[in-house]
Chains A and B, each alone.
Chain A
Amino acid sequence: ELKVEQNPLFLSMQEGKNYTIYCNYSTTSDRLYWYRQDPGKSLESLFVLLSNGAVKQEGRLMASLDTKARLSTLHITAAVHDLSATYFCAGRSDNFNKFYFGSGTKLNVKP
């Protein structure tokens, strides 16, 4: 069974600072997803990463994938308060059509 671990689970940072959220997964996953969830809301798709070395950027967020290390990162550049949310990574198991989510990283960006 694919296990997905995120760290940190909680992140409090000042506006303007940079930080990285890490997502490790236990076995091969043929694709890696990042989502954002605001309190009381549903999940918003941010990125889908397919191949080793894949890098995608949207605004202040950049996601990357290293399939050899079984690691994906979500880098936040010059954080702003509007980025405060919970961020989830998820993988899909190689041989079975099953999706596994991490526990989430709750990000709080302080003005």
Chain B
Amino acid sequence: ETGVTQSPTHLIKTRGQQVTLRCSSQSGHNTVSWYQQALGQGPQFIFQYYREEENGRGNFPPRFSGLQFPNYSSELNVNALELDDSALYLCASSVQGLYNEQFFGPGTRLTVL
């Protein structure tokens, strides 16, 4: 069984640029959630995708957007990058149901200069 994978591992961008992060969900999982984790803090929920639609969103501006594909993989897009966007971005996959237990990928470390 393949776990959750994310790419790239690390990324350096400059302010104002755009970035796309990718996530492949664990086999059999149909839901993907994205989180932002700043250094020394807990993860902040960005949004969740189920059946290729956003079905939950945290307090993030519209420049954070996403996609889910028919194979349940997902992308997180961030436009007009700001210095505060520097963080670890985590993807988690799960199965919609009673437990909705989320399994996390290794993360993408984004640095905005």
Contacts and interface: CB of A to CB of B under 8 A. Distances in A.
B45 A100 contact: yes
B102 A42 contact: no
Interface residues of A, number: 22
A48 B45 CA distance: 18
B71 interface: no
A42 B91 CA distance: 10
B99 A31 contact: yes
A98 B45 CA distance: 7
Contacts of B44: 101
A22 interface: no
Nearest to B96: A97
| Interface core residue of B42, B43, B90, B103 (most chain A CB under 10 Å) | B42
B21 to A, nearest CB: 14
A103 B41 contact: yes
Nearest to A100: B45
Contacts of B33: 99
A42 B42 contact: no
A48 B106 contact: no
Interface string A19-45: 000000000000101010000011111
A92 B31 CA distance: 15
Given A42-B90, A102-B42, A97 B103 contact: no
Interface string A36-80: 000001111100101000000000000000000000000000000
A50 B98 contact: yes
Given A31-B99, A43-B90, A50-B99, A96 B42 contact: no
Interface of B: 33, 35, 41-45, 48, 55-58, 90, 92, 98-107
